[in-house]
Structure 1
Amino acid sequence: MTLLPDPWWLTALLAATLLFDAVASIKPPKFIRDCLEGVGFPGEWWWTLIVIKTLAVAGLIVGFWVPGIGLAASVGVVVYSLCATSAHIKARFTGMSFWVNCLGMLSLSLATLVFSFLA
């Protein structure tokens, strides 16, 4: 296990993906709105997802220089993605957005954790 990401580019890819997702969530396009509504996530709480994703991005970036921060942020993104996956399954909202967006983020976050920090 390492406390600094190696390879660094996988962590950078996860941070960039989360940043794009956070920015897109400010004024969510239809596919994001449909996803959040499909799992029954209350509209008045959507802002919390932007905060969580932005904090994850910050943690991943700081983690390039501060040992352990990127690892903690990476674990947090995996937990977030597992919660999202669970919400989709519980709501039986397993269409294209589940397979591409939800499981795609889970796969990327798991790959980052395993290959950048645990391998």
Structure 2
Amino acid sequence: MNTITSEPQWPTLLMAAILLGDIAMSIKPLRFIRQCLSGVNFPENWWWALILIKSVAVLGLLIGLHIPGFGIAAMCGIIAYFCAATIAHIRAGYLKQSFWINCLGMLSLSIAVLLLTILT
């Protein structure tokens, strides 16, 4: 039986580190984060949920370093998260710099990490 492991580990660790940075910036949201979330009409009283989702994603990535398939599932969840963020930006018409750099940048990075992990 083939198992899908998070190998090589460095892309997974890079993604986890970037998400941890994102979480840290979101605890007391920086101005560009506040503008982005407000720009897509995401209710401020739900901003905490994004921190929780990203924290669970980091946990999933780290568990995936030891349990085959777990990290891949976490990466798929991260990709789904950034696909939803992309849709939210497009629906709200909020296509400023934060959309192109942050949202699509993170979506691209997530896809690249998944591909590096499963294809190498």
Q: Answer yes or no: same fold by TM over 0.5.
A: yes
2:20 aligns with 19
With normalisation by structure 2, the TM-score equals 0.94
Cα distance in 1 for residues equivalent to 2:50 and 2:92 = 18
Q: CA deviation at 1:40?
A: 0.2
Cα distance in 2 for residues equivalent to 1:38 and 1:103 = 16
1:112 maps to 2:113: yes
Structure 1's 101 and 84: CA in aligned 2 closer, same or farther, altered over 3 A? same
2:64 aligns with 63
Structure 1 unmatched ranges of 5 or more: none
Runs of 4 or more, structure 1, over 4 Å off, are none
Aligned residues of 1:26 and 1:50 also touching (Cα < 8 A): yes
Percent of residue pairs bearing the same amino acid type = 53
Q: How does 1:25-40 map to 2 (within 5 A)?
A: 25-40=26-41
Aligned residues of 2:86 and 2:104 also touching (Cα < 8 A): yes
Q: CA deviation at 1:117?
A: 2.1
Aligned residues of 1:2 and 1:118 also touching (Cα < 8 A): no
After superposition, give the CA deviation of every residue in 1:37-71 in whole Å (9 maximum; x if it has no partner). Answer: 00000000000000000000000011001111101
Q: How does 1:52-91 map to 2 (within 5 A)?
A: 52-91=53-92
SS in 1 for 2:65: coil
Please report the RMSD computed on the Cα atoms of aligned residues, expressed in angstroms: 1.3
Aligned residues of 1:2 and 1:117 also touching (Cα < 8 A): no
Cα distance in 2 for residues equivalent to 1:88 and 1:2 = 36
Cα distance in 2 for residues equivalent to 1:49 and 1:97 = 16
Q: CA deviation at 1:16?
A: 0.6
Structure 1's 46 and 109: CA in aligned 2 closer, same or farther, altered over 3 A? same
